[in-house]
Every structure is written in C-alpha cells, then in structure tokens.
Chains A and B, each alone.
Chain A
Amino acid sequence: MPIQADDPRIVEFDVRTDEMLVNMGPQHPSTHGVLRLVLRTDGEIVSEVEPHIGYLHRSAEKIGENLSPRQWIPYTDRMDYLAAMNMNLGWSLVVEKLLAYDLPEKARHLRVIICELGRIASHLVGMGAYGLDLGTFSPFLYAFREREKILDLFEEACGARLTYSYLTPGGATADLPNGWLWRCESFLRELEPVIDEYHALLTTNAIFVKRTAAIGVMSAETAIDYGCSGPVLRGSGVDYDLRRDGEPRYTGMYDGYAFEVIVQKEGRYPSDHKYPPVPREAVLGDCWHRFYVRMLEVVQSIDLVRQAIDRYGKCKGDWGTPIKLTQKLPKGEAYLETEAPRGQMGFFLVSDGNAIPWRVRARSSCFCNLSVTGELCRGCLIADVPAIVGSLDIVMGEIDR
C-alpha cells in the first residue's frame, strides 16, 4: 500500500532523510528461521525489500537421487518441519501415483486424521509465532500448550515428536495404538473452547487489528500471478483448495467428507458464525485476513478429524503395508500437489525403471509465498515488514530444502 505524504502515521515527515540499506537477518528473531531481508528505506518507509534465501539449503533433491523413495521420507520431514506429516503424505502420494498403488480404506481415513491434526499443530505455531512477530508473547505460549498435546498424540502413534516419517508409500509404518482415538477425541474437546481464547487474545485484539488490518494488501490476481497458495491465496479471496480441487488421487482421500473451503465469498466467511466478525478496517487480502483464514481452518480441521475418527473406527482390516524399501519403480514420471498447511506442496518424481529415482523435485509452497514479499512491502513502514512476512507464515526449511 503506498504511503501518502499526509498519512497520519508519518509524524516526522518534514525531517530530511537519506536512503539507507538496512539488513534484517539472517538471525533476526522475526524472520522465521534464517531469512535475510535487505530493505531499502527512506526514514521509516520501505521502498524495496529483497529476500535472500538459501541459508538452510541441504540439497534434499540431490540426496533424493541417491536414495529409494522410502529412504527419502525422513528428508521430507525436514522440509516443513512444523507439518512433517503433511510432507510425508505429499511424497507418499506421488510414489503411489507412479506405482498406481491403491490404498486400503482404513489407511485413507488414518491419513486424514493424521494430516488434519498436523494442520492444526502447524496453524497453532503459525498463530503463536505471528503474535511474537507483532510483540505479544502470551498467544505463543497458549498455542504451544495445545500443540504439545498433538505432539504427544503423534509420539504415541509413531515415536517421534517432530520428524515423524510415519506416513509412507503404501500406507503408514504402524497402526494407531489402542485407545488413541479416544484420547484424540478428548483432546479435540479440550481444544474447541480454547479457540475462543485465541480469538480474544489476537483476532479481536484492538492492537492486533491495528497492526494487521489493511497492511500488506494483496489482490487475487497478484496472488495467482506469484503462485501463492494455501491460506495466503485464500486470504485474498481466491476460492481454491486442493482438498476439493486437486487431483482425484488426493481428493479421493476426502471423498464423502463434509467440508467447505475457508474463503471470503460475497463479504462473508462460510461457517462458524459464532466467531468474531471481520473488523471494519480489514480489507480482503491483508495480513488480518490471512491470519483469520488460518484460524478458521483450525476449526474446520477439528471437524474433519472427528469425521475421520468416526469412519476409521468403522473400518476393518489393514492400515496398509509400506512398500518394500527397494521397490522397483516403473519407468515414467509423476507430479502431485497436496494441500499442506502452508499451501500447495508438490513433489515430482522421474524414474528410469530402477529402485532409485532419476530425479526428485519438491515444489515448495513457501518459496512462492515468500517471493511476493517484495511486492507487498513496497511503500510500507519498517515495523510492518515483520507483520507482512509473519502473515505469510513461512518455514525456511521448506524454502531452501
């Protein structure tokens, strides 16, 4: 948003200032990892932002050319380490697509439970860290309190708390333990009332609204042009969610589930009327809307997990058998995108007929989401830069791979 000379926020606008280059990061607390931003500023106003990335580059794609698909699963964990389950899913699905492998019914519902819990955990961190970016500490603690319980559930299912390697081509490495579904349900019962607290802490907080409403406004056209996805795209009012619009192999997972895409249509959000109304200052596509879409998605994921638990409980039989560690891949190539919490995560697999892929490629959602920063920050205040970057909810592990 361009700043006008008579903008009331600019108090000292008659003071002569020089253009200055300010370096933010790579070890800046509000850059979400090792991101370096070079700002060209004139006083408090930013005229240009140039992100420098690659500090966390671990050549995952090159490593993938030397490992079999199942061996590469742990590397997908380390991409978006806040939603590792969803990364596992993306890679598993693309391998299954190449193998034309059909999943048993039970594994399908298990994956919905796990991935939607992963989405809740990831959005909770996104919310808490966004509060940190804007200078409030308590929402972060509240968010981590709840996330911890999800990690406990994950630990029980697969033994790990951050890098799970649980979902794998062919299904999952183990079935859910006894009593897990019951504990999951009781967690969801605890989580639901807490969300009202989050809304009181952030969504409707006057300072929060002042810092985020009408800041970093992105039009739907810009969002699509830059390849933004996930809550960043839907926050701009684009009705697109791969869980509904993706490939049959992915949308098939959600077959028969009742859910609505969280996006503002005709001035209102679809469900959850008891949640706070959109403040008058907020403009579609600003930081507030991106944040709000995430908050509503948490509620929706709770509902999806409940539906999945119901279906999973009724399923009999196998939760799927992981493919062999050195399973030969058919010759060909497959590309598939899934709706990870941060956007569309795509994997591309090229095989020459061996057990080890010829080429693997990870299309990172945050990579595209971050590329729009320069556009959004043009003409904003320095203090708004963390607000804008935070609202994109990036994870550097996924960008640099």
Chain B
Amino acid sequence: MSGTGLVDQLKAKFGDRILGAKLDAIDPWIDVAPESIADVAAFLKTAPGLEFHYLNCITAVDYFEPDPKKAAKTPWRPHIEVVYHLSSVTRKHSLVLKVSLPRWRGDVEGELPVLPTVSGVWRTADWHEREVYDLSGVRFEGHPDLRRILCPEDWAGHPLRKDYVMPLEYHGMRGR
C-alpha cells in the first residue's frame, strides 16, 4: 500500500487527529495527536490489509538545547517526540508514527508530560514504555505497572533528557 493511500485512510477515519505526514523522508512518518495514539494504534493493528501486529520500538527524542546561544538558532521549539516503529509480519510492511509532546506538562518544570499507553494494543509496549518513562520522562496513562526499568528505583531525573545533569554522588559512590 502506498504512503498517501494509508494517510488518506487514516484521515478518513480519524479526521484532524492525524496532524500530518512526511512521506519523502528516509523512513516516512505520520504525525498523530497525543490523545488519540492508542486509538490509531488499535486501528492499525486490527484493520484488514494493514495488520501492524508487531511493535518494533518506542523511542523518545528530546528536542531541547541547553545552551541559550545555540537554542536561538534551532529551527524547532523545545518538545519531546515519541516515535513508534511498527511492522507487519504478514504483510511485510512497516510504518513510523510520531507524537509530539511538551517537555513539561503545562510548562511546569518537574511535571512529566502524559501520553495514553499502547500497552493494551501491543504487549511489547509494556517494557518499552517503562524504558521511555525511565530514561526520557514521559508518563504513560493507563500503563499497568509504570516503574523505572533500567535505572534503580530511587534514581533522580531522566538521563536521556538534554538538560539532565549527571549526579556527583549516589549512595556514597562518587560519580566522577
């Protein structure tokens, strides 16, 4: 199925909750509104002809430049992008979904942005979302067990955020 065909199909079903698409990129992607990512995911998994049964990966990319001089030159406003890579075992095609979130919920520093979970659609998402929460600080609403997965439970901060500061000490161990 061609990229434009799929975008039209999704737009017919979800209307303005499909925010856009970039089909000439290396891996073409579709932008989805944060609140409807779970619905779009469920549709992509079950719709005949699409059958995206396989969730490859969830990644969060932090777009933030701590250096104010460089920040003035960046073409984007600070935000976090969550990227979903899907593929179909039966149809042998793949797709990229993107969701754009504010870095902090309501612009209050320390309040993590919230996104509906897709762990009800693919169980792969369970651990992947835990990892995104742990390292990039995105809270997944409705996740059955949202805990840190790679860092210890009492770790402070989310290391893959661009403004993360390496701790100097952890339980008496020197950081550097």
Contact = CB atoms under 8 A, between A and B. Distances in A.
A374 B53 CA distance: 21
Interface in A185-242: 224-227, 238, 240
A61 interface: yes
Contact of A225 (B59, B85, B92, B123): B123
A350 interface: yes
A334 B160 contact: no
Given A54-B152, A335-B96, A358 B159 contact: no
A176 to B, nearest CB: 31
Counting contact residues on chain B (CB < 8 A from A), the size range is 20 to 34
Nearest to B155: A54
Given A358-B61, A371-B127, A363 B56 contact: yes
Interface of A: 53-54, 57, 59, 61-62, 97-98, 224-227, 238, 240, 245, 247, 332-335, 337, 344, 346, 348, 350, 358-359, 361, 363, 367-368, 371, 400-401
B61 A97 contact: no
B60 to A, nearest CB: 9
A348 B150 contact: no
Contact of A224 (B89, B148, B151, B160): B89
Interface in B130-168: 131, 135, 148-152, 159-160
Contact of A348 (B83, B124, B127, B135): B83
A238 B56 contact: no
A378 B36 CA distance: 33
Nearest to A370: B127
Contacts of A333: 25-27
B151 A57 contact: yes
Given A332-B25, A348-B59, A368 B150 contact: no
29 contacts: A54-B151, A54-B152, A57-B150, A57-B151, A61-B160, A62-B159, A62-B160, A224-B54, A225-B124, A226-B123, A227-B123, A333-B25, A333-B27, A334-B26, A334-B27, A335-B27, A337-B56, A350-B61, A358-B61, A359-B59, A359-B160, A361-B57, A363-B85, A367-B127, A368-B124, A371-B123, A371-B124, A371-B126, A401-B150
B149 A227 contact: no
A24 B124 CA distance: 24
B159 to A, nearest CB: 6
A227 B55 contact: yes
Given A225-B123, A371-B127, A61 B135 contact: yes
B122 to A, nearest CB: 6
Nearest to B53: A224
A227 B55 CA distance: 6
Residue among B54, B124, B135 with most chain A CB within 10 A: B54
A227 B56 contact: yes
B44 to A, nearest CB: 14
A335 B57 contact: yes
B50 to A, nearest CB: 15
A98 B27 CA distance: 10
Contacts of A337: 56
Contacts of A57: 150-151
A245 B89 CA distance: 9
Given A224-B54, A226-B123, 17 more contacts: A54-B149, A54-B150, A57-B150, A61-B135, A62-B159, A62-B160, A224-B89, A227-B56, A227-B123, A332-B26, A333-B27, A344-B56, A350-B61, A361-B57, A361-B59, A363-B85, A401-B150
